Amino acid sequence: MLTAGGLVALVGQMPGGALVDAVRSARWVAGLAVAAICMSAFATALWPVFLIVIGARVLQAAASCVLGPAIAAISLGLAGHAGLGERIGRNARFASIGSGVAAAAMGACGYLVSNQAVFLLTAVLVVPALVALAQIRTSDLALRSDRDRMPAPGADAPKADLRGLLCNRRLMTFAACVVLFQLANAAMLPLMGSKMTMRASEWAATLIAACIVVPQLVVAVCSPWVGRQAQILGRRPLLLICFAAVAIRGALFALISSPHLVLVVQILDGVSAAIFGIMFALVVADITRDSGRFNLALGIVGSAVGIGASLSTTLAGYMFDHFGAGLTFTGMAAVAFAGMMLVLLAMPETRPDADGTSADVAPERIDSAALAGAAAQRCGA
């Protein structure tokens, strides 16, 4: 069941982003996605049989492929490119708080009522989400979008196509960075959980729960600040810090075994999660500015997330079984270091200057739609 949902989530990233780009109202798409998640939860609660549950899991995964880009599109429409960094930081803070509160509420619901009640509570939580969506006016999104778009003089910029995006060097370089980040990071906590279970099984569940909560707290506290710094310092310095945090965390996990030290090291997980969560959408928005394909590009990079995470759990699990924890964590730290080198040597700065031009491109060459068209022509040649 989990594999089916994971495959749908991986395959549906690009179609989901393209759908959000194509429709006129990201609010309505987000509302339909939330309603689909509600239906999935109800079906799981009321008919817990294999075919219904796997169908509900597929529906939930498909809805998530649309909901993420829709929220990103709404955020971009409300805040504009200039305010997107801080807006995504606030989104990450609220997402972290919401995840913690929901986990506590669902855990209490399952303990005090029943396992079925957890899914019913999930369905009920759709109501405040829809109420929140209803407070966003389409006119606000259109006004900010028109003010911040900055098209080429005398004409609207044409939309880039999928081929142009796949040939965009900056986007593909960032996607490669995302794969390396997930490859190094995704399996790190599960493997440390396995290591702690073997050493102190009676405390393992509590320690793992604490290792999940600590990064969430760090994300909630730091994310708005990271968003502001992305506008001041640029994207590349923060990406370098992100990969450095993962590399140091992997190296420390290879050396330590004390549960208390593991908990302290997990602060680095919060740092990397806060930076990556903001850079994920922010860099894509920089690269696709005025191209009309922000959400399709998000889908491409989202596919890179799925590929990296899937490879991470498979390869790290194999290494853990055959070579031990120390070598496995050292290898993951090396992958993170390789990602840091890729950012340093190949990833350009994408933060626009005050006049809207990209920091790493001459003013006469900054139109992203023109870049995408030229890239498509090169690919054709």
Position 179 scores a pLDDT of 95
Residue 253 C-alpha from the chain's centroid: 24
| Higher per-residue pLDDT: 17 or 238 | 238
What lies within 8 Å, CB to CB, of 155 at 6+ separation is none
Q: How far apart are CA 117 and CA 125, in angstroms?
A: 12
Position 201 scores a pLDDT of 61
Q: Where are the domains of the chain?
A: 1-147, 159-373
What lies within 8 Å, CB to CB, of 301 at 6+ separation is 171, 174, 175, 178, 280, 284
> What SS3 string covers the chain?
CHHHHHHHHHHCHHHHHHHHHHCCCHHHHHHHHHHHHHHHHHHHHHCCCHHHHHHHHHHHHHHHHHHHHHHHHHHHHHHCCCCHHHHHHHHHHHHHHHHHHHHHHHHHHHHHCCHHHHHHHHHHCHHHHHHHHHCCCHHHHHHHHHHHHCCCCCCCCCCCCHHHHHCCHHHHHHHHHHHHHHHHHCCHHHHHHHHHHHHCHHHHHHHHHHHHHHHHHHHHHHHHHHHHHHHHHCHHHHHHHHHHHHHHHHHHHHHCCCHHHHHHHHHHHHHHHHHHHHHHHHHHHHHCCCCCCHHHHHHHHHHHHHHHHHHHHHHHHHHHHHHCHHHHHHHHHHHHHHHHHHHHHHCCCCCECCCCCECCCCHHHCCHHHHHHHHHHHHHC
Q: What is the gyration radius of the CA atoms in the chain, in angstroms? A: 21
Is CATH 1.20.1250.20 the classification given to domain 159-373? yes
Instruction: Identify the residue whose tokens are 């968003």.
Output: 227
Position 141 scores a pLDDT of 67
Position 175 scores a pLDDT of 94
Q: How far apart are CA 125 and CA 148, in angstroms?
A: 34
| Higher per-residue pLDDT: 282 or 79 | 282
User: Which of 322, 348, 285 has the alpha carbon at shortest distance from 17?
Assistant: 285
- The confidence band for 148, taking pLDDT boundaries of 50, 70 and 90, is very low
Q: How far apart are CA 95 and CA 212, in angstroms?
A: 14
User: Which of 294, 276, 277 has the alpha carbon at shortest distance from 285?
Assistant: 294
User: Which whole number is the average pLDDT over 257-269?
Assistant: 88
| Higher per-residue pLDDT: 290 or 32 | 32
User: Which of 217, 239, 218 has the alpha carbon at shortest distance from 229?
Assistant: 239
Q: How far apart are CA 276 and CA 67, in angstroms?
A: 19
Q: How far apart are CA 171 and CA 296, in angstroms?
A: 12
- The confidence band for 249, taking pLDDT boundaries of 50, 70 and 90, is very high
- The one-letter amino acid at 51: L
Q: How far apart are CA 246 and CA 240, in angstroms?
A: 10
Q: How far apart are CA 56 and CA 50, in angstroms?
A: 10
- The one-letter amino acid at 126: V
Position 337 scores a pLDDT of 97
- What are 184-225's pLDDT values in tens digits? 999 898 888 888 777 666 666 677 778 888 888 899 889 989
- The confidence band for 111, taking pLDDT boundaries of 50, 70 and 90, is confident
Phi, psi of 13 (to 5 degrees): -60, -50
User: Which whole number is the average pLDDT over 320-333?
Assistant: 92
Position 379 scores a pLDDT of 42
Q: How far apart are CA 87 and CA 91, in angstroms?
A: 6
- pLDDT at residue 357 tops 60: no
- The confidence band for 369, taking pLDDT boundaries of 50, 70 and 90, is very low
Based on the number of CB atoms within 10 Å of its own CB, is 91 exposed (0-12), middle (13-18) or buried (19 or more)? Answer: buried
Position 358 scores a pLDDT of 54
Tell me the β-bridge partners of 352.
358
User: Which pTM value belongs to this model?
Assistant: 0.76
- pLDDT at residue 335 tops 70: yes
- What are 47-81's pLDDT values in tens digits? 989 999 999 999 998 999 899 889 988 888 888 87
Mean pLDDT computed over every residue of the chain: 82
- The confidence band for 380, taking pLDDT boundaries of 50, 70 and 90, is very low
Position 359 scores a pLDDT of 52
Position 375 scores a pLDDT of 41
User: Which whole number is the average pLDDT over 226-248?
Assistant: 94
